[in-house]
């Protein structure tokens, strides 16, 4: 069947909903909610213009006819292929769903088809209904990043939700944190709050991937919830495929509202900076700040946040959404991406550079001298800001943070560093847990650039992290502390940084005989062996408190070998005061694990120069 095509009327700030037909392709029409204040959504350039045409218009489950969706119509163009429950479960990626949404990359078959997506959305609706156990009609918002499969998946998600009787609000191009915010915003004029929210994104992954993140007002969904949704989706898919094979028809009425929620969300960020600066209208007047959105969803930060606050933003780059990411991967952990924003800062003699990942839940910055605030340095900076506001508080971080960071937080800033596990959800949940048992924690942050503050509902929001830096810039100037990014640079003064910091990712060959176990069991066996070796080596000292993998000090540095959160990989992080010390640490790891033949140690062998 055809996907939605034709001219799309765009609406902003939904006030009243009236039924108006949207012009669709010959095959069906969709009833469309419009409003009494018709404006345009913010222009979205690049590959994601609002033409409603997706690059992959493959058969969705529902068949639309004149304002009604007929599911499983006999006119179905192609039969719905059989998909195993185990294939649905494979789409789980921690607390997200991820899959291949664009065909054509060798060895990467489509997994996130429209029918699968529709079933997942219906699965989420089922989960939500159970959670709220309510008879009222639930409302769910949908947003997406700049990926080329966004439109196609948005259509399928809308259909899946409508199939489950849920009211659908489309936000269009949006950031992940804005989607969570929509569950908290209380303004019926904007159809808020919504009961649940779906963000269509695969963060920084290649252009052919996509996925979903789900929110309720309690925050992002966790691993068990995602499993539950996928199990429901597999069942829904099976039922629909069965009906389809019998040629049965089910009518589903779909009405979609569109809200320019990014404007609402951005105006809250603007208000936060104004408030922190003592209610000054343009607290950033005269500051030159360049943004690199990497052609993701972060371009709004220039026109909707920095400019209303008075900042000069010339030299900002890659603000147009383009799901092929032609300039660099939108990822603050990526060296090329950090080089690009650093160059923009230096070329434009800007005061500050800001870079976001594709869906803006991660960010990093660059000072006027080109010094990067990412990884441990961003954590140090955010810790300094938060500890000024909450002296003595605990900072929760992921497991790959440096020893120097602990010394900085505890000795220089007077806080407590709680180094936990990798994974933004793990870090956030741990901070929430600490507070619940009486240990005050205000910041949960990962070296990946995910950072969440208690004051911001524990939402990992890359834009909000940058707002905290902007507040600091503005208040420092007001109080005469200086007028550039030096105030930020000075805050991380004293952070010890290692001469060498590497991450080597050792692959477990999934296809080989893992002695009857899974790659996780195999990985655990590797870690156990390493632990035993370390215990019998006087030069090495196991970290006394450690929540993940094997963390060891030696030769003035440290290493951590752990299992990847998602992949059959054992990432090895090494930090050391010299290359020689780093090689010695790597050597010790290699000696301990070399008998595990399914473990690809070539990166390690290369590093030690053997």
User: Least separation, in Å, of the C-beta of 122 and ligand G6P?
Assistant: 25
Q: Whose Cβ is closer to ligand G6P: residue 16's or residue 433's?
A: 433
Q: How far apart are CA 240 and CA 302, in angstroms?
A: 45
Q: Whose Cβ is closer to ligand G6P: residue 248's or residue 502's?
A: 502
Tell whether residue 351 is a contact of ligand G6P (CB under 6 A): no
Within residues 568-607, the interface with ligand G6P by CB under 6 A covers 571
| CA distances, 387 to each of 200, 380, 410, 499 (Å) | 34, 10, 11, 27
Three-state secondary-structure class, residue 65: strand
Tell whether residue 548 is a contact of ligand G6P (CB under 6 A): no
Tell whether residue 446 is a contact of ligand G6P (CB under 6 A): yes
Three-state secondary-structure class, residue 604: helix
Tell whether residue 567 is a contact of ligand G6P (CB under 6 A): yes
Q: How far apart are CA 258 and CA 40, in angstroms?
A: 10
* Binding range to ligand G6P, per CB under 6 A, among 105-113, 189-197, 231-239, 558-566: 558-566
Do residues 487 and 470 touch, judged by C-beta distance below 8 A?
no
- Four-point Cα dihedral 353, 358, 359, 361, nearest 10: -50
Q: Which of 72, 183, 313, 448 binds ligand G6P (CB under 6 A)?
A: 448
Q: Which of 564, 578, 603, 608 binds ligand G6P (CB under 6 A)?
A: 564
User: Least separation, in Å, of the C-beta of 90 and ligand G6P?
Assistant: 16
Q: Whose Cβ is closer to ligand G6P: residue 244's or residue 460's?
A: 460
Q: Whose Cβ is closer to ligand G6P: residue 195's or residue 446's?
A: 446
Within residues 356-395, the interface with ligand G6P by CB under 6 A covers none
Within residues 253-282, the interface with ligand G6P by CB under 6 A covers none
Q: What does the per-residue mask of binding to ligand G6P show for 391-430, with x meaning CB under 6 A?
A: -------------------------------xxx------
Pairing between β-strand 256-258 and β-strand 167-173 as defined by DSSP bridges? parallel
Q: How far apart are CA 298 and CA 174, in angstroms?
A: 8
* Binding range to ligand G6P, per CB under 6 A, among 56-64, 131-139, 445-453, 583-591: 445-453
> Which residue in 108, 118, 100, 106 sits closest to 1, CA to CA?
118
User: Least separation, in Å, of the C-beta of 421 and ligand G6P?
Assistant: 9
User: Least separation, in Å, of the C-beta of 479 and ligand G6P?
Assistant: 35
Q: List, edge to edge, every strand of the sheet that includes 451-453.
A: 416-419, 394-397, 441-445, 451-453, 459-460
* Binding range to ligand G6P, per CB under 6 A, among 405-413, 483-491, 551-559, 565-573: 565-573
Q: How far apart are CA 100 and CA 112, in angstroms?
A: 5
User: Least separation, in Å, of the C-beta of 213 and ligand G6P?
Assistant: 10
* Binding range to ligand G6P, per CB under 6 A, among 142-150, 193-201, 443-451, 490-498: 443-451
How many angstroms from the chain centroid is the CA of residue 19? 35
* Binding range to ligand G6P, per CB under 6 A, among 104-112, 294-302, 410-418, 559-567: 559-567
Q: Which of 288, 328, 450, 477 binds ligand G6P (CB under 6 A)?
A: 450
User: Least separation, in Å, of the C-beta of 565 and ligand G6P?
Assistant: 4
Do residues 4 and 69 touch, judged by C-beta distance below 8 A?
no
Q: Whose Cβ is closer to ligand G6P: residue 258's or residue 377's?
A: 377
Do residues 518 and 510 touch, judged by C-beta distance below 8 A?
no
**CA angle in degrees (0–180, nearest 5) for 353-354-359:** 160
**CA angle in degrees (0–180, nearest 5) for 376-573-393:** 35
User: Least separation, in Å, of the C-beta of 572 and ligand G6P?
Assistant: 11
Q: How far apart are CA 252 and CA 380, in angstroms?
A: 52
> Which residue in 599, 584, 400 sits closest to 607, CA to CA?
584
Q: Which of 2, 17, 432, 565 binds ligand G6P (CB under 6 A)?
A: 565
> Which residue in 256, 260, 232 sits closest to 174, CA to CA?
260
Taking CB positions, which residue lies at the least distance from ligand G6P? 564
Do residues 351 and 287 touch, judged by C-beta distance below 8 A?
yes
Q: Whose Cβ is closer to ligand G6P: residue 169's or residue 178's?
A: 178
Cα of first residue to Cα of last residue in the chain, in angstroms, is: 58
* Interface contacts to ligand G6P, rule CB under 6 A: 422-424, 446, 448, 450, 564-567, 571
């Amino acid at each position: 069947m055809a996907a939605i095509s034709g001219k799309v009327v765009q609406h902003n700030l939904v006030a009243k909903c009236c039924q108006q037909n949207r012009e669709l392709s010959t095959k069906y029409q969709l009833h469309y909610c419009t409003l009494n204040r018709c404006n345009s959504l913010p222009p979205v350039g690049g590959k994601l213009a609002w033409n409603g045409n997706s690059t992959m218009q493959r058969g969705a489950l529902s068949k639309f006819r004149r304002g009604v969706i007929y599911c499983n119509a006999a006119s179905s163009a192609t039969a719905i292929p059989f998909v195993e429950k185990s294939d649905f479960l494979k789409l789980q990626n921690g607390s997200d769903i991820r899959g291949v949404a664009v065909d054509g990359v060798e060895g990467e078959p489509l997994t996130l088809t429209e029918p699968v997506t529709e079933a997942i959305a219906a699965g989420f609706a089922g989960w939500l209904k159970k959670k709220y156990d309510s008879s009222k009609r639930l409302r769910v918002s949908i947003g997406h990043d700049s990926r080329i499969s966004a439109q196609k998946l948005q259509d399928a998600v809308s259909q899946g939700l409508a199939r489950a009787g849920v009211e659908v609000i489309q936000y269009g191009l949006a950031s992940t944190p804005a989607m969570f915010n929509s569950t908290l915003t209380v303004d019926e004029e904007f159809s808020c709050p919504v009961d649940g929210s779906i963000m269509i994104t695969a963060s920084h992954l290649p252009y052919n991937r996509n996925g979903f993140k789900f929110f309720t007002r309690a925050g992002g969904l966790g691993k068990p919830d995602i499993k539950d949704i996928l199990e429901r989706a597999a069942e829904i898919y099976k039922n629909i495929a069965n009906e389809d094979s019998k040629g049965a028809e089910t009518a589903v009425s779909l009405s979609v509202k569109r809200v320019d929620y990014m404007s609402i969300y951005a105006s809250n960020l603007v208000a936060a900076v104004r408030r922190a600066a003592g209610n000054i209208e343009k607290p950033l007047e005269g500051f030159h700040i360049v943004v690199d959105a990497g052609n993701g969803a972060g371009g709004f930060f220039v026109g909707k946040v920095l400019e209303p606050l008075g900042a000069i933003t010339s030299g900002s780059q890659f603000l147009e959404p383009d799901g092929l990411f032609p300039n660099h991967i939108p990822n603050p952990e990526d060296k090329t991406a950090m080089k690009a924003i650093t160059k923009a800062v230096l070329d434009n003699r800007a005061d500050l550079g800001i870079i976001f990942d594709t869906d803006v839940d991660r960010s990093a910055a660059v000072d006027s001298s080109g010094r990067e605030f990412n990884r441990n340095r961003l954590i140090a900076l955010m810790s300094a800001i938060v500890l000024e506001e909450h002296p003595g508080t605990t900072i929760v971080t992921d497991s790959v943070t440096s020893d120097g960071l602990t010394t900085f937080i505890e000795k220089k800033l007077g806080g407590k560093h709680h180094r936990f596990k990798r994974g933004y959800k793990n870090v956030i949940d741990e901070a929430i847990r600490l507070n619940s048992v009486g240990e005050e924690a205000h910041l949960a942050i990962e070296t990946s650039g995910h950072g969440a503050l208690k004051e911001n509902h524990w939402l990992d929001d890359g834009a909000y992290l940058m707002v905290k830096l902007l507040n600091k810039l503005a208040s420092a100037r007001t109080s005469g502390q200086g007028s550039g990014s030096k105030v930020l640079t000075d805050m991380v003064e004293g952070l010890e940084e290692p001469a060498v910091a590497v991450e080597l990712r050792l692959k477990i060959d999934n296809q080989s005989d893992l002695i009857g176990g899974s790659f996780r069991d195999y990985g655990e066996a590797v870690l156990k062996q390493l632990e035993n070796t370390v215990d019998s080596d006087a030069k090495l000292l196991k970290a006394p408190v450690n929540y993940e993998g094997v963390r060891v000090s030696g030769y003035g540095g440290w290493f951590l070998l752990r299992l990847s959160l998602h992949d059959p990989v054992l990432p090895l992080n090494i930090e050391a005061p010299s290359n020689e010390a780093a090689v010695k640490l790597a050597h010790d790891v290699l000696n301990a694990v070399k008998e595990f033949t399914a473990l690809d140690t070539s990166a390690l062998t290369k590093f030690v120069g053997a």
